[in-house]
Structure 1
């Protein structure tokens, strides 16, 4: 069942492509024509840029390769970004230093290495975890946390294809109501909280492989060798039936330190 016409890449060719693409940073341009994802209606990068233009001192938590922060037209001085993965630290540094932003290598679960009340704006796009007490600590009174978070059961059609049904505790993690409770417990006031589920399509198995290598928490420890049989089955399904459809979950959260 692994036949291919001269114009159609084989399973092995597609998988090899997905394995070969570098995974550092949050540039998803490689997926163009191979996978799609609807964007949230609120336009996070644009709204973030507007807030950065009015800020005096800003922090971007878990900046990845710095791509989202670098999209802002204006950055306050100082602007600082944290990142825990060394390849991303290097990429973010190269991208953000010319803009006057400082990149600090800091593990995701470590306390933020900044003084109390150091920033009037803290932003983050898709943090692994929101450490609310630390966010509240580094915010100045009246300061704002403005972020887009991954919501519950995001892309779980793909997760459960490989891992099987997940416990309800896993599916309900990152729920906006839990985010609200965590933020409020840390002393923050919720100003805005909106959630959306968004259609995703994977058009070939190479896109699936690259996605699972890049977004490592979806199928922890993913390797092609370990999941080759499931990948081949999914490849044949996509060829026969069309794109594999999943749904991402996102929420916008704006919170103020009182």
Structure 2
């Protein structure tokens, strides 16, 4: 098992990616601290992903990543963590409108909520490392749309769009992650990213067909297609991989 003896924090553990990641990490031998805002939702999502929520290898912690004092207290109290993955994606109720419909206030708020909470999480991971000086691997989840501009044609004949906030957040996250890696400047503290292509979540059929034509055959990814790259970055197999962004998209960005 690639993560035997590791203790990993997963933020946003009740999400589509987060719950399955917790299951994967535990299967690879890691102890996991699963963070989310709602205990019932978190437990339900973890159980649906096949996680034994009563396992001694799992600790559920309820924290709102927008609450700075709560995040700081968590990192001040936790011990022996070796890595962290931030799968959280906080946003307001108006998130996801088409470009001309986005109010500046909503744009600003979503950037603040999402990129701001990511900044806080990275800052506290770095402070934790500086305190203990033990090897630490931080993995952030960006997106193929943090690397390339949107392919708007694939959204035709649907009500979907690629939110402008998403592009700003995910591209900013890549540079912010590299900033943190360079600022800490220690080979034992690694900050990397995984940037998936689109992940299947019962999108409209027209979109799925159009998206698949832009790949080399897979089409939309399953969550399981992304997990191996995260495990790799958390493991000793990637000891000197630092400041990198692994794109997992079956050629969508080519």
- The TM-score, its normalising length taken from structure 1, stands at 0.48
Which structure's residues are more often helix, by fraction?
A: 2
Structure ranking higher on relative contact order (CA contacts 8 Å, 6+ apart) = 1
Larger radius of gyration: 1
Q: What's the TM-score once normalised by structure 2's chain length?
A: 0.48
